[in-house]
Amino acid sequence: MIVDQDNSQSSATIQIAGAGPAGLAAAIVLAKAGRQVVVHEAQHQVGNRFGRDFQGLENWSTAEDVLSIFKKLGLETDFTAQPCCNGTVFDPWGTAHTIHSELPIFYMIERGPGPGSLDSALLKQACSLGVEVRFDSRLKYLDSEGILAVGPRAADAIAVGYHFDTDMEDGFWAICDNRLAPKGYAYLLVMGGRGTMKSCMFSDFKHEKAFVERSLETFQRLAGLEMKNPVPHGGAGNFRVPISAYSGRHPQVGEQAGFQDTLWGFGIRLAISSGMLAGQSLLTGENYDDLWRRELLPQMETSVVNRALYSLVGNRGYRWFLKQMTSSQNIRRSLRRQYQSSWPKRLLKPWANTRYQSQRQDVSCNHVDCHCVWCRGCSTA
Ligand SMILES: Cc1cc2nc3c(=O)[nH]c(=O)nc-3n(C[C@H](O)[C@H](O)[C@H](O)COP(=O)(O)OP(=O)(O)OC[C@H]3O[C@@H](n4cnc5c(N)ncnc54)[C@H](O)[C@@H]3O)c2cc1C
């Protein structure tokens, strides 16, 4: 890896490709240390691929609250974040399993360019620190010091459905049923008179339309879903544990590296964490692969095992899982146990790796002179 000896003092401008959570988190870390940073964003605004999507910022993988962790790491948390403690998950037979937690299981947040969204808050903080963000700037090559943060490169899962206005009360609902969302789940999030309904599927994408319509009908029947002004929306996720997260000498962060929660697709925290680690590696000269392997790898490997198990168990297994989870005194802690590395899950890792394969080839590039933002051609892996 080629890194300046005293990076924190270097005057060279750092280029970042992609103004998603991963790229902006990296920019914030670097700008706070006094580095000049230019972020290139291919679209004309932040969060363009999400529109006004509601998403869950998961709050179970650590005992400490995610917003408090972000604050300690130096991120402003002045985006709208609705604490979600109570909700309902339906099993394939339509039985409601009530979720209750003293502390938020996740925070409902908005993605996209709107006021109060996560993306707008990160952009605001980055700009206030002097980061230059260039919109409509799609990088193809990066031949100077920089970070690659351009988002998913393959579709290992898709989430498809609608954004809409509604008179429904705020809340969250989910359904685990392979007839609605193969090997995944359907979800409904409502906040402040607006909502998102999606089928998040891990296979059989070509029938996505049928799954979305079935999810819609089922939410109407079970949760009283009412949509006004529905706008179709969807996107893909890329889940992969990379061999190396360098492309040439550039750290790849967020979903470009494949950093995701392979079980359910809660990738925002991993995107932000990996962005911050990449920023740190440029500042200190520490090897980025060492950093993410230490901080992120155990959880990512566990999520591959969880995915292999979840894909195997089918509808009856979902019902069993929901009963276990909702009978727990502390659902956050129970979920955290599922997300943490443990010896049974480490034992299952070789089996899980044969069951789960990303749609994306491992294009970790070891070619030190590679300047491609999304390297495919010179892969040696
Ligand atoms: C429908 C949907 C629902 C989801 N729900 C959740 C959820 O509830 N909870 C959760 O935690 N995660 C969720 N995720 C996953 C989460 O959104 C991603 O993991 C996260 O956004 C990844 O952040 P990122 O910065 O790596 O990539 P992105 O957010 O994709 O940002 C990458 C940016 O790079 C830009 N770009 C691309 N190419 C170039 C280029 N060549 N040059 C310059 N810029 C470029 C793109 O325009 C984009 O703005 C969801 C994903 C989808 C699709």
* Residue of 96, 95, 311, 320 whose CA lies nearest to 185: 311
| Nearest by Cα to 244 from 281, 209, 216, 210 | 281
The CATH fold assigned to 7-154+238-355 is: FAD/NAD(P)-binding domain (3.50.50)
Local confidence band at 379 (pLDDT 50, 70, 90 cut-offs): very low
Contact 132, 38 (CB under 8 A): yes
Domains of the chain, by residue range, sit at 7-154+238-355, 157-237
| Nearest to 93, CA basis, from 327, 334, 335, 314 | 314
Q: Exposure of 77 by Cβ count < 10 A (0-12 exposed, 13-18 middle, 19+ buried)?
A: middle
Rounded to the nearest angstrom, the distance between the alpha carbon of 116 and the centre of ligand 1 is 17
Q: Residue 24: CB within 6 Å of ligand 1?
A: no
Per-residue burial over 35-60, b if 16 or more Cβ lie within 10 Å, else e, is bebbbbbbeeebbbbbbbbbbbbbbb
Is residue 265 within 6 Å of ligand 1 at its C-beta?
A: yes
Q: Which of 140, 147, 150 to mutate to test the pocket of ligand 1 (most atoms within 8 A of CB)?
A: 150
| Amino acid identity at 36 | Q
Residue 267 Cα, ligand 1 centroid: separation in angstroms? 8
For residues 182 and 201, the answer to whether their CB atoms sit within 8 Å is yes
Average pLDDT of every residue of the chain: 92
The per-residue b/e assignment along 300-321, b for 16 or more CB within 10 angstroms, e otherwise, is bbbbbbbbbbbbeeeeeebbeb
CB atoms within 10 A of CB 287: 15
Cα 152 to middle of ligand 1, angstroms = 7
pLDDT digits (tens, 9 = 90+) for 131-167: 999 999 999 888 899 999 999 988 899 999 999 999 9
**What is the C-alpha separation between 111 and 49, in angstroms, rounded?**
9
Closest residue by Cα to residue 341 from 302, 305, 306: 302
Output the CA angle 292-294-295, nearest 5 degrees.
65
pLDDT 10s digits, 25-37: 999 999 999 999 9
SS3 of the chain: helix, strand, coil, percent, to 5: 35, 20, 40
Is residue 27 within 8 A of residue 253, CB to CB? The reply is no
Confidence of residue 4 (pLDDT cuts 50, 70, 90): very low
Q: What does the pLDDT look like over 59-75, one tens digit per residue?
A: 999 999 999 999 999 99
Here the tokens at position 178 are 């392979």
From the alpha carbon of 160, which atom of ligand 1 is closest?
A: 1
CB of 268 sitting under 6 A from ligand 1: yes
Q: Is the CB of 373 under 6 A from ligand 1?
A: yes
Report the nearest-CA residue for atom 5 of ligand 1.
55
What's the pTM value of the predicted model, to 2 decimals? Answer: 0.93
CB of residue 131 inside a 6 A radius of ligand 1 = no
- Please list, in sequence order, all residues whose beta carbon lies within 8 angstroms of the beta carbon of residue 6, skipping any fewer than 6 positions away: none
Between the CA of 327 and the centroid of ligand 1 the distance, in Å, is 34
Q: Best substitution site from 29, 54, 55, 58 to test ligand 1's pocket, by max atoms within 8 Å of Cβ?
A: 55
Q: Is the pLDDT of residue 303 over 70?
A: yes
